Structure 1
Amino acid sequence: MAFSDEKIIAMLNKMEESQKTNTIEEGPVRIGQRFYEFEQQAFYDDKLLVFIPKDFTDMPEALSAIKYPHSQRPETIKTNEDGSINITLNRIDQDLEEGWVEELTQGMKTILKKVNPSNVFFTDGVEEIHGKQVGYFEFKSPALDAFLYNLMFFLELGGKTLMGTFSCKYDEYEAWRDVAFQIVRAVRVVQVEEGAEPA
Structure 2
Amino acid sequence: MTKHIFIFLLIYFVGFDASANNAINYRRFFDDSVQVGIPENFEPMPEAEAIQRFPDQVNRPKHIFMSPDGLATISLNMAANYGDRQTIIHFFRDIKNDIRANYPDSRFLKTDVIRNRSLALVEYTASNPSGDVLYNMMAFRYVGDNFFFFNFTCPEKEMEKYQQTAREIAQDIELVGKKGY
TM-score range, shorter chain: 0.7 to 0.9
Shift of 1:186: 1.3
CA distance in 1, matches of 2:70, 2:8: 34
User: How many residues are matched?
Assistant: 175
Matches within 5 A, 1:142-181: 142-143=127-128, 144=130, 146-181=132-167
In structure 1, the residue matched to 2:47 is: 61
In structure 1, the residue matched to 2:70 is: 83
Shift of 1:95: 5.2
The one-letter amino acid paired with 1:4 is: T
- Tell me the alpha carbon deviations over residues 68-95 of structure 1, each in whole angstroms, 9 at most, x when there is no partner: 2314311111112232111111111115
In structure 2, the residue matched to 1:4 is: 2
Aligned CA RMSD, in angstroms, stands at 2.9
Distance 1:8 1:92, change over 3 A: closer
CA distance in 2, matches of 1:118, 1:149: 12
CA distance in 2, matches of 1:132, 1:55: 32
In structure 2, the residue matched to 1:21 is: none
The one-letter amino acid paired with 2:37 is: F
CA distance in 2, matches of 1:149, 1:156: 24
Shift of 1:171: 0.5
Distance 1:80 1:4, change over 3 A: closer
Indicate yes or no: 2:31 matched with 1:72: no
Shift of 1:145: 5.7
CA distance in 1, matches of 2:31, 2:3: 55
In structure 2, the residue matched to 1:32 is: 17
Runs ≥4 residues deviating over 4 A:
none
Q: What secondary structure does 1:181 align onto?
A: helix
CA distance in 1, matches of 2:46, 2:37: 20
In structure 2, the residue matched to 1:44 is: 30
Residue 135 of structure 1: which of 120, 129, 141 is its match?
120
Contact 1:39 1:52 in 2 (8 A): yes
Higher RCO structure, 1 or 2 (CA under 8 Å, sep 6+):
2
Indicate yes or no: 2:171 matched with 1:185: yes
CA distance in 2, matches of 1:31, 1:181: 20
| Gap runs ≥5 in structure 2 | none
Q: What secondary structure does 2:87 align onto?
A: helix
Higher radius of gyration, 1 or 2: 1
